[in-house]
Amino acid sequence: MRLVLLVLLTAPAACAQVETAPQPPPPPVTRQEAAPDTTADGRTQAEVAVAATIAEPGVHVVHFWAPWCGNSRAEFEAGWYEVVEANPDVSFSFVTIWNDGRDSADRLARYGITPGDRVAVFAQPDRGPSADRDLRRRTFLGLPLSWTPTTWIFNRGGQLAYAFNYGEVSPDMLATAIEHARDEWTHD
Amino acid sequence: MTEHAPTDAALREIVSADGVHVVHVWAPWCDNSLNEHEPVWSDWAGLGADSVTFVTVWNESERGAATLRETGVEGVRELVVPGPKPEKPDRRLRLLGVPVTWIPTTLVFNRNGLLATAFAYGEVTREQLVEAVNGARDDW
């Protein structure tokens, strides 16, 4: 994982040298306590959008990934798109993290997942270059993020039902969790 | 969403240790919680986790030890979040940074205190929990 991350983080810089003439260096990115794209309460635009989505009735999947992460790609290659297609009543929000603010929708499309009425693509910006681990955002909607890929499933108007914050989630695991989140349970 | 700092601190110390740690949130009056006891928790030591901690909540500040014994869950560590049983809309608390809006809720931690898996709705099965514990122990 670490090796893959290192290689892929350095790869774009190598490509840029080949594709373009020498350019002046970009302005330095500094640490930002409140990035311009955050709301007054500190939420990013991605958080605002996802919060609105999961507040709706039904079951909602929020998936955090990065195109440079082999575990993220392995999940998609295992056939996540089949679960997306098989659950037309479920919303899916694909949020890139630690990816310099790019949503990488084109990469997602390679795995058969494209934005639509119930499939949305977002990028969660960091507080500076994502290569600097100290500047990465480690929460989303107040919940902990410590691993990519991470998958959360919400129901009951935005309540967390399941969180998979480590390893990889197979299509079968995802389908089962969606099915269980859809179940009607009662309490005294 | 309420928090209880002493319980959180005690749990933080437990889950921050090396290994895989299971935190189970329940109440003795909750049928969904009790439904899990025999099939999932009676052999809690056999789950393969480095620790298992039951956190009793919304139970008028009372321990659930007697119910645990009666339902076959012997010898497990129990912590109590004090407070009354709230009405349904107010059954919301936060433990170790994770919202608990449903019991039973089961949390699995690894990497010295990071959340690996949360089952925060319905009832968990033994198979799901063992898979989560094993998965949390894997080196990715």
Provide the ipTM. Answer: 0.95
Q: What is the pLDDT of residues A2-15, one digit of tens each?
A: 434 333 333 333 23
Closest chain A residue to B106 measured between Cα atoms? A162
pLDDT in 10s for each residue of chain B, 140 residues:
788 899 999 999 999 999 999 999 999 999 999 999 999 999 999 999 999 999 999 999 999 999 999 999 999 999 999 999 999 888 999 999 999 999 999 999 999 999 999 999 999 999 999 999 999 999 98
**Domain range spanning residue B41?**
5-137
Contacts of B32 (CB under 8 A, 6+ apart): A185, A187, B103, B104, B122, B123
Helix (H, G, I), strand (E, B) or coil at A152: strand
pLDDT reported for residue A40: 82
H helices within chain B, ranges in order?
A: 5-15, 31-36, 65-70, 126-137
Cβ distance B121 to A1 less than 8 Å, yes or no, reads: no
Evaluate whether residue A24 is within a structural domain. Answer: no
Question: How many domains does chain B divide into?
Answer: 1
Long-range contact set of residues A112-117: C-beta below 8 Å, sequence gap at least 24: A112/A81, A113/A76, A113/A80, A113/A81, A113/A84
Give A-chain residues touching B119 at CB under 8 angstroms. Answer: 162
CB atoms within 10 A of CB A111: 18
Please report the residues numbered 146 through 175 in chain A whose beta carbons come closer than 8 angstroms to any beta carbon of chain B: 146-147, 155-156, 159-168
Domains identified in chain A, total number: 1
pLDDT of residue A39: 84
pLDDT tens track for A87-140: 999 999 999 999 999 999 999 999 999 999 999 999 999 999 999 999 999 999
Q: What is the CATH number of the domain that holds B10?
A: 3.40.30.10
